[in-house]
Structure 1
Amino acid sequence: MSALDRIGQVGAWLGPVRLASAATMREAASTVEALGYGSFWVSDTPTTRDPFSASAVVLAATSSLVVGTGIANVWGRDAAAMNGASQALAEAYPSRFVLGLGVSHSPDVARRGHAYVSPVAKMRSYLDELDASPYDPPAPAVAAPRMLAALGPRMLELSRDRTAGALPYLTTPEHTKLARDLLGPGSALIPEQTLVLESSPSAAREAGREFLTHYLAMPNYQNNLLRMGFTYEDLSGGGSDRLVDALVAWRSVETVAERIRDHLAAGADHVALQPLPRPGDPLGLEQLRLLAPLLVG
């Protein structure tokens, strides 16, 4: 059984945990598992933990939680290193690890000392190298599924043709529907959904803009949002109300749960929930606790 066969419909993508201590990460993962969420996604940035080290911490702290890299940057390690790390985790923790791969963004790639090139061409050649990488220790009984961070049609097609599926980030249920139509029925589709349980429009949108400002400066996200019908005016100033409301689910637990169900109805197999930090809830675990009765089970 593959890890993708056992993760259920909802998981957790805790952005702030990348800056927390290992002890806090272990505690957060245990909480996510106890609440009944099926997955825990680990990020990769130039200044935080290696995603495979972080995945090992989470896997060791839990007993059934599926852990995925969201995403492992292909510019951060060569294919042999990526393959070795992925194979090792998949063998040590059977059917519990998903290898999410991505090309990242030109500013982050530049921080690693590389020149950003055509994302699809880079990923295609990297997958070729990954397929050709030898691995001498015992292989996992079931290989770790590979998935791609994919937004546009060409990367979605590559994820369909060469991997288990796609991991869209910062999207809407409308994008999920388009992605499912392009992927067809045989590929896994796991979008991320940002959320904040906040009933005040001004407070919710302030939290949303604080989160979105960094991403809205990235060409990959800009291009995808423009394809989705938003305008450059929507993208300015941290995002228009229309854009923030489309990308960040807020208000009550019922309203946020409905957004998750919209993704599932549009063709998502699983949705990774990313709660924004709130006073007294720095990792978003309390928000996940409140949502669990409506989404888990």
Structure 2
Amino acid sequence: MSELGPLGAAIPAFDTTDSAAAIAAAVRLEELGYSTLWMPGGQGDNLALVPDLVRATRRITVANGILSVDQVPAAEVATVYRALAATHPGRWLPGLGGAHGPRPLATLTAYLDELDTAVPASGRVLSALGPRMLELARDRASAAYPFLVTPDYVASARELLGAGTRLAVLVTVVAEPEPARARDLVRGGSLRFLAGVPGYAANFRRMGFTPADVADLSDRLVDGVTVHGSFDTVVARLREYRAAGADQVVVSLDGLPESWHGGLVAALG
């Protein structure tokens, strides 16, 4: 089983042909003391970089957040997993999700069935938001990996997952103490796009946000699902996620000041 540890770092999207930049980021995060490096997800395919990052580092867990099952064949994931399990056991945690189409849950279930002989449930994580996806993570993976959620959501997810499934929560962090400026920065990021994605929109409603909150990217929504402020404010908010039941908080490094890394690792790692 791959170890998550208490604090992960999600590196920004990079050119998948530039392995040197990805390797440099991985080595630096390991030096800083992060437990897990989360590679960027989406519809791209960065599977080929995984062995480079694992071999360039010594202890940090490398995870994908996430590999899209619509884009990356299960057979390719299995091949890479077998090779790394033989030489670097427990160092790679494939994160899976991104099933679309009319029956996404069935698509993901079939994908996991294909992986079972090569990648055990204890060696994979699932992107999960709604209750059915959380249940699938509980039954078919070692961890769930939600994004744009509140601490209250984390508490509910922890109850559904039970004690045996880990919960790694990706959190957008904006190092801006002025609230209005911080909210504008959040609205200019991925939240604007993801608010229109059906799965995220449905989860916002489950968390109690109104259609107007989602349509307008209201202050209430921004403050509820992202973290912004001074260093001390950010640490206090991230601790709320841990207290609610997150085994690991994963901070997005896009725009995070270099001077914050040591303090975050000391406070949360």
Q: Normalization by structure 1: what TM-score?
A: 0.83
2:31 matched to which residue of 1?
Answer: 34
Equivalent position of 1:70 in the other structure? 65
Once the two structures are aligned, what percentage of the paired residues are identical? 37
Decide whether the 8 Å contact of 1:275 with 1:288 is kept in 2. Answer: no
Change (3 A) 1:119 1:3: same
Query: Does the 8 Å contact 2:42/2:66 carry over to 1?
Result: no
Structure 1 residue identity aligned to 2:135: E
Partner of 2:145: 167
Return 5+ residue gaps in structure 2 as ranges: none
Structure-to-structure mapping, 1:243-258, within 5 angstroms = 243-258=221-236
Superposed CA RMSD in Å reads: 2.2
2:205 is the counterpart of 1:226: yes
1:13 aligns to what? 10
**SS in structure 1 at match of 2:42:** coil
Secondary structure in structure 1 of the residue aligned to 2:245: coil
1:201 maps to 179
Superposed CA offset, 1:47-101 (max 9, x none): x4x3222222322221111000111111113322221122223333221111111
Letter in 1 for 2:103: S
The structure-2 alpha-carbon separation of the partners of 1:287 and 1:218, relative to structure 1 and needing over 3 Å to count, comes to farther
What TM-score, normalized to structure 2?
0.91
Deviation of residue 144 (structure 1)?
6.4
Structure 1 residues 192-238: Cα deviation after superposition (integer angstroms, max 9, x where no partner): 1110111111221111111111111111100001110001111124x
Counterpart amino acid of residue 151 in structure 2: P
Distance in 2 separating the partners of 1:272 and 1:72: 17
Q: Which amino acid aligns with 2:196?
A: A
In structure 2, C-alpha distance between the alignment counterparts of 1:70 and 1:18, rounded to whole Å: 16
Distance 1:19 1:74 in 2: 18
Paired residue type of 2:86: E
CA contact (8 A) 1:86 1:144 kept: no
The corresponding residue for 2:214 is 235
The 8 Å contact of residues 196 and 275 in structure 1, kept in 2 or not, is answered as no
Using the alignment, how far apart are the partners of 1:18 and 1:250 within structure 2? 27
Q: 1:56 aligns with which of 51, 61, 79?
A: 51
Query: In the TM superposition, what is the alpha-carbon distance from 1:177 to its structure 2 partner?
Result: 0.7
Is 1:293 matched up with 2:266? yes
Report if the CA contact (8 A) 2:169-2:250 is conserved.
yes
- The AA in structure 1 aligned to 2:60 is L
**How many residues are paired up?**
268
1:119-134 → structure 2 map (5 Å cutoff) = 119-132=104-117
What are structure 1's unaligned runs of at least 5 residues?
Answer: 107-115
Partner of 2:70: helix, strand, or coil?
coil
Q: 2:196 is matched with which residue?
A: 217
Does structure 2 conserve the Cα–Cα contact (< 8 Å) formed by 1:98 and 1:144? Answer: no
2: distance between equivalents of 1:274 and 1:204? 15
* Counterpart code for 1:79: A
Separation in structure 1 between the aligned mates of residue 244 and residue 25 of structure 2, nearest angstrom: 30
The aligned amino acid for 1:3 is S
Aligned partners of 2:145 and 2:168 also within 8 Å? yes
